[in-house]
């Protein structure tokens, strides 16, 4: 484990951390209210569920695929979670469990069909996006569930003691740490990265494609489910639109965090910082009263920039490799 | 007192039987622009209209999304299924006119509810809240509550909603009439959905909360989210006037976090709209010199009523709206129709 | 026995045609209203637009890529055209040409970025989707262009063949024939297919794969703009929300039609008439479901299932072809 200074500097996330700190300071200089406890609280709240959504997409990017149904799974779980509690008076823990089961089932469906049919995950998850969203709309008929138990609502709003840190942030932080351990320290995690790097090499090494793909999709569904339920706590109702706006940010954060779409290279910490950057920018746009339409353009430009930077780095690496291997 | 008398009188008329008897051939479709809690009252209104007026059907059909093409497809398929009168919240103030024209060619009467289409149009009437006027009154209430001066923010709905621009202008008008002491510091639109509303409104509160003195919301979801935000923050300094009758908003009014709300009348729109369509099918026509109102979009506007409720009358709002509906119904035929 | 039946019976297109006819028969008998003039006319319009959207995506799928920005390009082109007609007062025909030009331009940009950076078109078009849509919304301030020339908007309501068919459908079908000719009988068409089927081999045989891919993206933009023009005449106004948020509403029909129609996602194989039949089938099914009172909220669900079944069937067919059970 090289923890020399040089090694730290090579890490993707250092650059991002600098961006976060600098942009935070710049905004705070212009608008001191940015650093106020309430504003930090709001920032942390929106980061909390976006973090899980980004990780849900990141794990699929790791294996070189895409999951378009992340938002649809989140929405389906969100309404199931709130619906079970409101209509069937199910207790909170059982409802949470049910939500997780639904998320796992959806993820399993995605992974299983992708592996068994050999069809690209893009198309499979495009279809399941409509299927899950369709079930969502069919059940709710586009009407939200309003009657969420009080303790759930409070969870969505509570802060830790006197700090501005929301309760909502605890779970995402735990998950981020677990994901880091999973990707970097467990065998399955490393298998996933290997698979993302090169399917043939992975299979030659004896890695089971089915296991890798299905596990990744199950994790993705599981995380999407958690995000959906957190959003319900936050909004204090279960509306079928939850998840509709997740697609772009779910890609933006990992890509900004250095992920390569072809697979095999993702960084949990960098992704987390990517989420933070997107959240800061979104907030800044409101603070500076910039045209809300500009957010769209901004996110798009950010993604392109991030991708160019990643590509450039890849290119430089390849050049370096070619130079060294020709010696 | 007057409204109580109206209710009793109308009830007597209704109970006395065939005053409003309609045709069981009439099949009305009530089609909103997309899913939204505001229109939920239309479902009940339609069912009651069938019962009270003897219509064949008055069904509430919702397009799965706020998309003009989907709304058009839904309407086309409903006509294919035999519906012969269509009440619609326009997916677009001009775009919807096309399909209304085609329905008219097919002999199907239509009307716009809760939002108007621009003229020229084949819709027989626009029956809705004068949203501009409602926003204007609401803002005036807010300015009063603020003591005549201060900074306000305006949260409103989808930009594709024909009402949104009217509301933005109305708020500006009310502010300009306040004699210079009031300033609009921010308008946030396109937040009639929970996730973006939560994000933007909270970001706003965090960044400008200290500077703003009043909030006016002219769309359902922002009203709910803003009411929630003020309640969670425990803030009673910032005055707020909301819109519509979501439980969250009403509770916040009772608790003192929100000053009041501008009620609309979705029930009345669906109920009387169905009645009117049935009459048209029965051969009545709209009088040319009827007491129409004019708005920015149309000269054939009928006001479905709006009323400001605050902590003093928030508990009886349902009766207030029903009273207005019955009042309108009573005089509708006489005022507007030639039968 | 199999060898005696004509090969084309086992093609995807024949299967589709068969399904289309079956569903027409089923819906006509089971529902009332399906065969009404109003319904068929309405259907002809939706089909026309969906065919065009499907064709626009098909030419990018040919390269093995995707064009998520299709809806955004369509809306941008249409709003540009609306601006030309209403604000600049440009006559209809030149304005339409400008619209098509704008669509091609936006598609061209997508193609250039994709090819020059080597980044997958999914991410490029995911980004350009927001950029194009964002700029359009900012420049138009989400205001629609509603006073378009009557001649233009009347085209959308015009009725032919005893009021059963919309001229929009004729435009789409004509486009299908032109594209079919392009890909089957012209040199450039065959080069486009070769580039998509096997880029390395194509490069070796002297085809500039980069240039071919760029052309595909530009063509996609062109067709997207054409689809948007059809949609605008149908609506009667150029409105920013015509394709949904960021243009995403077009994604399902855009993929459904080509994929059902036998265009392979891996690139290199397309079917123009398959795409056309795919669009017809999907629209028919949706319409039938509405008429059968399935509940408008379950339509999405069914569309997703249809897409899934379509791709699975396609896979099965490929598999069986390899095993020589079916002649391809």
Closest alpha carbon to B268 in B67, B6, B70: B6
Distance, CA of C204 to CA of A313 (rounded, Å): 28
Whether C239 and B61 lie within 8 Å, measured CB to CB: no
Distance, CA of A194 to CA of A263 (rounded, Å): 9
C295 and A138 Cβ atoms separated by less than 8 Å: yes
Average of per-residue pLDDT across A293-310: 78
Task: Enter the tokens of residue C312.
Answer: 């699975």
Task: DSSP for B280-306, please give it.
Answer: HHTT-EE-TTS--B--SS-S-EEE---
Residue B224, burial from CB neighbour count under 10 angstroms (0-12, 13-18, 19+): buried
Distance, CA of A150 to CA of B86 (rounded, Å): 41
Residue B117 is given by DSSP the state P
For an interface test with C, give the residue of A60, A110, A119, A130 to mutate (most C CBs within 10 A). Answer: A130
Tens of pLDDT, residue by residue over A67-119, are: 999 999 999 999 999 999 888 888 889 999 999 999 999 999 999 999 998 88
**Which chain B residue lies closest to C244 (C-alpha atoms)?**
B67
> How many independent structural domains does chain A possess?
1
Closest alpha carbon to B128 in B269, B332, B313, B326: B269
Tracing tokens 């890490």 back to the chain, one arrives at A11
Distance, CA of B102 to CA of B106 (rounded, Å): 6
**Which chain B residue lies closest to A136 (C-alpha atoms)?**
B64
Per-residue three-class SS string for A38-64: HHHHHHHHHHHHHHHHHHHHHHHHHCC
Q: What is the CATH number of the domain that holds A149?
A: 1.10.3470
* Helix, strand, coil percentages in chain A from 3-state DSSP, rounded to 5: 75, 0, 20
Tracing tokens 């469990």 back to the chain, one arrives at A97
Of A137, A146, A241, which is closest to B193 when you measure between CB atoms? A241
Strands B150-155 and B110-113: what pairing?
Answer: unpaired
ipTM: 0.81
Distance, CA of A291 to CA of C138 (rounded, Å): 8
Q: Please enumerate in sequence order all residues whose Cβ is within 8 A of that of B338, keeping only pairs 6 or more positions apart, or say none.
A: B284, B285, B286, B287
Flag whether residue B195 sits within 8 Å of chain C, measured between CB atoms: no
**Which chain C residue lies closest to B35 (C-alpha atoms)?**
C297
For residue A46, what pLDDT is reported? Answer: 84
Distance, CA of A192 to CA of A199 (rounded, Å): 10
Q: Which chain A residues have a beta carbon less than 8 Å from that of B202?
A: 42, 45-46
Cα of C209 to nearest chain A Cα, Å: 20
Subunits touching A (CB < 8 Å, at least 3 pairs)?
B, C
Closest alpha carbon to C242 in C122, C107, C142: C142
Q: Please enumerate in sequence order all residues whose Cβ is within 8 A of that of C170, keeping only pairs 6 or more positions apart, or say none.
A: C160
Whether B97 and C236 lie within 8 Å, measured CB to CB: yes
Closest alpha carbon to C236 in C309, C312, C326, C144: C144
Task: Enter the tokens of residue B271.
Answer: 């109920």
φ/ψ of residue B308, rounded to 5: -90, 125
**Which chain A residue lies closest to C136 (C-alpha atoms)?**
A293
Chain centre distance of CA B246: 13
Tracing tokens 């809760």 back to the chain, one arrives at B114
Residue A1 lies in a domain: no
Element (DSSP H or E) covering residue B108:
none
Model pTM? Answer: 0.83
Higher local confidence (pLDDT), B317 or A10:
B317
Distance, CA of B125 to CA of B292 (rounded, Å): 9
Q: Which chain B residues have a beta carbon less than 8 Å from that of A49?
A: none
Other CB atoms within 10 Å distance of the CB of residue A81: 30
For residue A1, what pLDDT is reported? Answer: 44
Residue A73 lies in a domain: yes
Instruction: Enumerate residues 139 to 158 of chain A having a beta carbon within 8 A of any beta carbon in chain B.
Output: 141-144, 146, 157
**Residue A173 binned pLDDT confidence (cut-offs 50, 70, 90):** very high
Tens of pLDDT, residue by residue over A239-295, are: 888 988 898 889 889 988 888 877 888 889 999 999 998 888 878 877 777 766 677
User: How many residue pairs from chains A and B have C-beta atoms closer than 8 A?
Assistant: 76
Whether A157 and B232 lie within 8 Å, measured CB to CB: yes
Closest alpha carbon to C43 in C18, C69, C24: C24
Name the interface residues of B facing A (CB cutoff 8 Å).
34-37, 40, 62, 64, 186, 188-190, 193-196, 198-200, 202-210, 228, 232-233, 247
Q: Is A164 helix (H, G, I), strand (E, B) or coil?
A: coil
B157 and B192 Cβ atoms separated by less than 8 Å: yes
Per-residue burial over A163-200, b = 16 or more CB atoms within 10 Å of its CB, e = otherwise: ebbbbbbebbeebbeebbebbeeeeebebbbbbbbebe
Distance, CA of A2 to CA of A322 (rounded, Å): 25
Whether C255 and A261 lie within 8 Å, measured CB to CB: no
For residue C8, what pLDDT is reported? Answer: 52
Flag whether residue A241 sits within 8 Å of chain B, measured between CB atoms: yes
Residue B329, CA distances (Å) to B13, B29, C271, C318 in order: 11, 20, 59, 65
Instruction: Evaluate if residue A221 carries a pLDDT over 90.
Output: yes
For an interface test with B, give the residue of A286, A287, A290, A294 to mutate (most B CBs within 10 A). Answer: A286
Distance, CA of B34 to CA of C296 (rounded, Å): 11
For B75-89, B294-308, C56-70, C306-320, which range has the lowest pLDDT when averaged over its residues?
C306-320
Whether B77 and C46 lie within 8 Å, measured CB to CB: no
Per-residue burial over A217-247, b = 16 or more CB atoms within 10 Å of its CB, e = otherwise: bbbbbbbbbbbbbbbbbbbbbbbbbbbbbbb
Average of per-residue pLDDT across C22-41: 83
Rounded to 5°, angle at Cα B91 from B88 and B97: 70
Distance, CA of B223 to CA of B156 (rounded, Å): 8
**Which chain B residue lies closest to C238 (C-alpha atoms)?**
B95
Q: Which chain C residues have a beta carbon less than 8 Å from that of B92?
A: 144, 235, 237, 239, 241
Tracing tokens 């899950």 back to the chain, one arrives at A132
Whether B193 and A38 lie within 8 Å, measured CB to CB: no
Residue A125, CA distances (Å) to A60, A264, A302, B208, C317 in order: 11, 20, 25, 41, 21
Which range of B179-183, B334-338, C222-226 scores highest in mean pLDDT? It is C222-226
Q: Is B42 helix (H, G, I), strand (E, B) or coil?
A: helix
Residue A2 lies in a domain: no
**Which chain C residue lies closest to B66 (C-alpha atoms)?**
C244
Beta bridge partners of C274: none
Flag whether residue A45 sits within 8 Å of chain B, measured between CB atoms: yes
Cα of A282 to nearest chain B Cα, Å: 9
Residue A4 lies in a domain: no
Instruction: Evaluate if residue C324 carries a pLDDT over 70.
Output: no
Residue C145 is given by DSSP the state B
**Which chain A residue lies closest to C61 (C-alpha atoms)?**
A123
Whether B92 and C33 lie within 8 Å, measured CB to CB: no
Of C66, C138, C300, which is closest to A130 when you measure between CB atoms? C300
Whether B194 and A292 lie within 8 Å, measured CB to CB: no
Q: What number of helices (H) and strands (E) belong to chain A? A: 14, 0
Q: Which chain B residues have a beta carbon less than 8 Å from that of A157?
A: 232
Closest alpha carbon to C237 in C75, C63, C89, C129: C75
Task: Enter the tokens of residue B276.
Answer: 């009117």
**Residue C11 binned pLDDT confidence (cut-offs 50, 70, 90):** low
User: How many residue pairs from chains B and C have C-beta atoms closer than 8 A?
Assistant: 96
Beta bridge partners of B203: none
Residue C252, CA distances (Å) to A110, C59, C71, C200, C278 in order: 18, 16, 11, 31, 12
Flag whether residue A327 sits within 8 Å of chain C, measured between CB atoms: no
Which range of A39-48, A155-164, B237-246, C139-148 scores highest in mean pLDDT? It is B237-246
Rounded mean pLDDT of chain C? 85
Tens of pLDDT, residue by residue over B58-99, are: 999 988 778 888 898 889 888 888 899 999 999 888 788 889
**Which chain B residue lies closest to A31 (C-alpha atoms)?**
B207
A157 and A163 Cβ atoms separated by less than 8 Å: no
Of C46, C235, C286, which is closest to B68 when you measure between CB atoms? C235
Tens of pLDDT, residue by residue over B199-228, are: 889 888 888 888 899 999 999 999 999 998
Structural domain boundaries, residue A135: 12-325
Flag whether residue C117 sits within 8 Å of chain A, measured between CB atoms: yes
φ/ψ of residue B282, rounded to 5: -80, 0
Instruction: Quote the crossing angle between the two packed helices A92-117 and C299-322, to the nearest 10°.
Output: 30
For residue A312, what pLDDT is reported? Answer: 78
Beta bridge partners of B202: none
Residue A95 lies in a domain: yes
Residue A41 lies in a domain: yes
Cα of B90 to nearest chain C Cα, Å: 12
Q: For the CA atoms of chain A, what is the radius of gyration?
A: 20
Q: Which chain B residues have a beta carbon less than 8 Å from that of A31?
A: 207
- Direct distance between the N- and C-terminal alpha carbons of chain A, in angstroms, rounded to an integer: 28
Flag whether residue C124 sits within 8 Å of chain A, measured between CB atoms: yes
A57 and A75 Cβ atoms separated by less than 8 Å: no
Whether B73 and C290 lie within 8 Å, measured CB to CB: yes
Q: Which chain C residues have a beta carbon less than 8 Å from that of B81?
A: 31-33, 290-291, 293
Of C124, C259, C305, which is closest to A123 when you measure between CB atoms? C259
Closest alpha carbon to B271 in B49, B60, B38: B49
**Residue C95 binned pLDDT confidence (cut-offs 50, 70, 90):** very high
Instruction: Evaluate if residue B257 carries a pLDDT over 60.
Output: yes
Flag whether residue B19 sits within 8 Å of chain C, measured between CB atoms: no
Whether A248 and C130 lie within 8 Å, measured CB to CB: yes
For residue B182, what pLDDT is reported? Answer: 92
Strand residue runs (E) in C172-320: none
Flag whether residue A82 sits within 8 Å of chain B, measured between CB atoms: no
For residue A10, what pLDDT is reported? Answer: 55
B94 and B118 Cβ atoms separated by less than 8 Å: yes
Task: DSSP for B160-181, please give it.
Answer: TSHHHHHHHHHHHHHHHTTTTS
Residue A7 lies in a domain: no
For residue B5, what pLDDT is reported? Answer: 41
Cα dihedral C67→C69→C72→C78 (10° resolution): -40
For an interface test with C, give the residue of B27, B67, B73, B162 to mutate (most C CBs within 10 A). Answer: B73
Residue A114 lies in a domain: yes
Distance, CA of A235 to CA of A156 (rounded, Å): 8
Q: Which chain B residues have a beta carbon less than 8 Å from that of A39?
A: 206-207
Whether C138 and A291 lie within 8 Å, measured CB to CB: yes
For an interface test with A, give the residue of B31, B35, B245 to mutate (most A CBs within 10 A). Answer: B35
Q: Is the dihedral of CA C77, C78, C79, C85 positive or negative?
A: positive
C55 and C116 Cβ atoms separated by less than 8 Å: no
């Amino acid at each position: 484990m090289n923890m020399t200074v040089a090694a730290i500097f090579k890490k993707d996330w250092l650059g991002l951390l600098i961006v976060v700190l600098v942009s935070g300071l710049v905004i705070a200089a212009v608008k001191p209210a940015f650093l106020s406890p309430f504003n930090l609280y709001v920032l942390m709240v929106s980061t909390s569920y976006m973090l899980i959504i980004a990780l849900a997409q990141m794990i699929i990017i790791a294996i070189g695929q895409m999951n378009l149904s992340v938002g649809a799974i989140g929405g389906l779980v969100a309404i199931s979670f709130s619906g079970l509690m409101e209509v069937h008076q199910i207790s909170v823990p059982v409802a949470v469990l049910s939500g997780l089961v639904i998320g796992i089932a959806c993820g399993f469906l995605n992974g299983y069909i992708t592996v068994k049919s050999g069809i690209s995950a893009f198309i499979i998850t495009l279809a399941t996006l409509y299927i899950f969203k369709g079930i969502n709309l069919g059940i709710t008929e586009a009407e939200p569930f309003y009657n969420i138990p009080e303790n759930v609502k409070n969870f969505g709003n509570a802060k830790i003691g006197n700090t501005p840190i929301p309760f909502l942030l605890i779970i995402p932080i735990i998950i981020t740490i677990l994901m880091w351990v999973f990707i970097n320290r467990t065998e399955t995690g490393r298998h996933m990265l290997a698979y993302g790097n090169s399917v043939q090499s992975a299979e030659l090494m004896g890695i089971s494609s089915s296991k890798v793909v299905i596990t990744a999709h199950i994790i993705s569904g599981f995380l999407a489910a958690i995000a959906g339920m957190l959003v319900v706590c936050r909004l204090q109702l279960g509306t079928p639109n939850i998840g509709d706006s997740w697609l772009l940010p779910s890609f933006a954060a990992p890509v900004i965090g250095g992920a390569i779409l072809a697979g095999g290279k993702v960084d949990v910490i960098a992704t987390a910082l990517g989420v933070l950057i997107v959240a800061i920018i979104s907030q800044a746009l409101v603070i500076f009263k910039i045209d809300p339409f500009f957010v769209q353009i901004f996110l798009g430009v950010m993604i392109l920039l991030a991708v160019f930077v990643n590509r450039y780095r890849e290119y430089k690496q390849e050049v370096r490799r070619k130079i060294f291997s020709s010696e | 007192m007057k409204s109580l008398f109206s209710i009793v009188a109308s009830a007597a008329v209704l109970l006395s039987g065939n005053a409003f008897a309609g045709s069981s051939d009439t099949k009305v479709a009530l089609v909103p622009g997309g899913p939204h809690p505001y229109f939920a009252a239309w479902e009940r209104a339609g069912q009651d209209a069938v019962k009270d007026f003897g219509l064949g059907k008055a069904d509430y059909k919702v397009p799965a999304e706020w998309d003009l093409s989907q709304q058009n497809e839904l309407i086309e398929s409903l006509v294919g299924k035999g519906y012969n009168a269509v009440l619609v919240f326009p997916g677009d103030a001009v775009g919807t006119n096309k399909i209304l024209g085609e329905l008219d060619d097919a002999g199907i009467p239509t009307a716009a509810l809760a939002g108007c289409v621009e003229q020229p149009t084949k819709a027989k009437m626009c029956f809705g809240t004068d949203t501009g006027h409602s926003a204007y009154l609401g803002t005036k209430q807010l300015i009063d509550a603020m003591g005549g001066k201060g900074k306000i923010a305006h949260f409103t709905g989808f930009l594709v909603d024909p009402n949104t621009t009217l509301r933005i202008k109305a708020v500006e008008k009310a502010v300009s009439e306040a004699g210079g002491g009031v300033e609009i510091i921010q308008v946030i639109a396109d937040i009639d959905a929970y996730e973006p509303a939560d994000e933007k409104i909270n970001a706003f509160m965090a960044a400008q909360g200290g500077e703003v003195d009043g909030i006016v919301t002219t769309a359902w979801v922002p009203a709910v989210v803003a009411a929630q935000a003020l309640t969670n923050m425990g803030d009673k300094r910032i005055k707020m006037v909301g819109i519509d009758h979501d439980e969250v908003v009403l509770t916040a009014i009772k608790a003192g976090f929100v000053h009041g709300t501008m009620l609309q009348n979705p029930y009345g729109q669906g109920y009387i709209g169905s009645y009117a369509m049935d009459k048209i099918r029965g051969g009545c026509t709209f009088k040319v010199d009827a007491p129409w109102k004019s708005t920015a979009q149309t000269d054939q506007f009928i006001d479905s009523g709006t009323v400001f409720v605050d902590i003093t009358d928030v508990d009886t709002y349902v009766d207030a709206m029903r009273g207005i509906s019955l009042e309108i119904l009573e005089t509708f035929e006489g005022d507007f129709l030639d039968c | 026995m199999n060898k005696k039946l004509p090969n084309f019976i086992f093609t995807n297109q024949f299967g589709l045609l068969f399904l289309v006819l079956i569903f027409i028969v089923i819906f006509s008998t089971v529902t009332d209203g399906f065969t009404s003039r109003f319904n068929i006319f309405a259907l002809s319009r939706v089909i026309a637009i969906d065919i065009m959207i499907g064709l626009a995506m098909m030419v990018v799928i040919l390269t093995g890529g995707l064009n998520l920005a299709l809806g955004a390009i369509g809306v941008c082109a249409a709003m540009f055209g609306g601006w030309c007609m209403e604000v600049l007062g440009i006559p209809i025909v030149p304005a339409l040409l400008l619209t098509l030009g704008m669509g091609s331009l936006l598609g061209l940009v997508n193609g250039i970025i994709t090819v020059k950076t080597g980044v997958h078109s999914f991410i490029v078009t995911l980004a350009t989707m927001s950029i194009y849509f964002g700029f359009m919304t900012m420049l138009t301030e989400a205001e629609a262009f509603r006073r378009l020339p009557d001649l233009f908007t009347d085209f959308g309501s015009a009725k032919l063949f005893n009021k059963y068919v919309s001229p929009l459908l004729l435009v789409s079908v004509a486009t299908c024939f032109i594209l079919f000719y392009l890909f089957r009988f012209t040199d450039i068409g065959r080069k486009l297919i070769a580039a998509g089927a096997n880029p390395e081999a194509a490069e070796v045989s002297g085809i500039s794969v980069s240039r071919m891919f760029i052309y595909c993206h530009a063509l996609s933009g062109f067709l997207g703009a054409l689809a948007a023009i059809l949609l605008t005449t149908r609506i009667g106004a150029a409105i920013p929300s015509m394709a949904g948020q960021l243009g995403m509403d077009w994604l399902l029909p855009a993929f459904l039609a080509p994929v059902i129609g036998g265009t392979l996602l891996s690139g290199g194989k397309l079917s123009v008439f398959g795409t056309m039949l795919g669009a017809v089938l999907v629209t028919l099914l949706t319409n039938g479901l509405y008429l059968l009172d399935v509940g408008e909220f379950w339509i999405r669900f069914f569309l997703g299932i249809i897409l899934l079944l379509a791709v699975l069937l396609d896979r099965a067919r490929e598999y069986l072809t390899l095993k020589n059970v079916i002649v391809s």
